[in-house]
């Protein structure tokens, strides 16, 4: 299975991608996490992309395509893309790369969320700065408030979850994604998910859509 998740920052793509991967034994590629890890470790790539991330701007396409290309091609047993592609050139490059390797995308899920729900999700989001686990103070709290369940580090608010950066990220998302929706809608295998509900409710809908999609594909 090769699946891409589209949706604004805060739509829950990361959480749902992790659950999809656990259920169907796929590899999770979060472009945001990959970039943040490079930034945190101060690699040469990290230094090149730092300002884009900290200001909520998109990393240039040529760099992004290069970063994701080797990873997806190595995941021959299937993957879930979360946060990539984010522009039309990225989608076109992805299609070209995957087609050449005879491993096309099977399904694109587009997460849509009520803007008020989105705002609340950002206010409560916390992450572990070490293992990058994501929590929410109301909907997905850690067992001990403010402390990571996995490695006991103190949870923080991500620099790019600060209100001004969030606003910029959502604006950037809306501008860059419009042509992508048209592109994927034309190609079929594009399904919309209302991701405003609870994490578990959204997971049920997502897993059900995926199962139905693959059952129908196998039957035909
Ligand atoms: P995210 O956590 O997916 O919202 O990504 C955090 C930041 O990483 C974004 O605000 C961008 O600066 C950068 N980023 C993530 N994915 C992409 C992408 N596909 N193309 C360009 N920049 C990206």
With the C-alpha atoms ordered 75, 76, 77, 83, is the resulting torsion angle positive or negative? positive
Atom of ligand 1 nearest to the CA of 82: 3
- Asked if 71 is an active-site residue, the reply is no
How far does the centroid of ligand 1 lie from the alpha carbon of residue 157, in Å?
17
| CA 27 remoteness from chain centre | 12
Mutate to test the pocket of ligand 1, among 86, 127, 166 (most ligand atoms within 8 A of CB): 86
Q: Shortest CA distance to 68 belongs to which of 99, 39, 46, 91?
A: 91
Q: Which CATH architecture has domain 2-113+160-219?
A: 3-Layer(aba) Sandwich (3.40)
Mean per-residue pLDDT, 21-44: 93
Mean per-residue pLDDT, 30-37: 92
Q: Is the pTM of this model over 0.75?
A: yes
Name the residue ranges covered by the structural domains of the chain: 2-113+160-219, 115-157
56: left (phi over 0), alpha (psi -120 to 50) or beta: left
List, for residues 54-105, the tens digit of each pLDDT value.
Answer: 888 899 999 999 999 999 999 999 999 999 999 999 999 999 999 999 999 9
Asked if residues 129 and 147 have their Cβ atoms less than 8 Å apart, the reply is: no
Pick the catalytic residue: 13, 36, 39, 126?
Answer: 13
Mean per-residue pLDDT, 21-25: 97
pLDDT at 167 exceeding the cut of 90: no
Check residue 10 and give its pLDDT: 85
pLDDT at 216 exceeding the cut of 90: no
How far does the centroid of ligand 1 lie from the alpha carbon of residue 219, in Å?
37
Where is pLDDT greater, at 207 or 140?
Answer: 207
Average pLDDT over the chain, rounded to an integer: 91
List, for residues 170-201, the tens digit of each pLDDT value.
Answer: 888 888 888 888 899 887 789 999 999 999 99
Confidence tier at 25 by pLDDT (50, 70, 90): very high
Check residue 186 and give its pLDDT: 86
pLDDT at 217 exceeding the cut of 80: no
CA distance 170 to 161: 11
Proportion of the chain above pLDDT 70, given as a percent: 100
């Amino acid at each position: 299975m090769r699946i891409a998740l589209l949706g604004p920052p805060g739509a829950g793509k990361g959480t749902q991608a992790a659950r999809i991967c656990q259920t169907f034994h796929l590899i999770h590629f979060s472009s945001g996490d990959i970039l943040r890890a490079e930034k945190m470790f101060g690699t040469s790539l990290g230094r090149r992309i730092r300002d884009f991330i900290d200001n909520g701007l998109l990393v240039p396409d040529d760099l992004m395509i290069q970063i994701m290309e080797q990873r997806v091609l190595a995941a021959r047993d299937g993957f879930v893309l979360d946060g990539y592609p984010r522009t039309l050139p990225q989608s076109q490059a992805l299609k070209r790369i995957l087609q050449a390797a005879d491993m096309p995308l099977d399904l694109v899920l587009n997460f849509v969320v009520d803007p008020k729900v989105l705002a609340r999700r950002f206010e409560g989001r916390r992450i572990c700065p070490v293992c990058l686990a994501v929590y929410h103070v109301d909907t997905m709290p850690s067992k001990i408030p403010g402390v990571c369940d996995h490695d006991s580090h103190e949870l923080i608010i991500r620099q790019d979850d600060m209100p001004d950066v969030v606003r910029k990220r959502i604006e950037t998302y809306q501008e860059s994604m419009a042509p992508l929706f048209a592109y994927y809608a034309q190609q079929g295998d594009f399904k919309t998910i209302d991701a405003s509900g609870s994490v578990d409710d959204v997971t049920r809908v997502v897993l059900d859509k995926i199962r139905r999609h693959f059952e129908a594909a196998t039957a035909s």
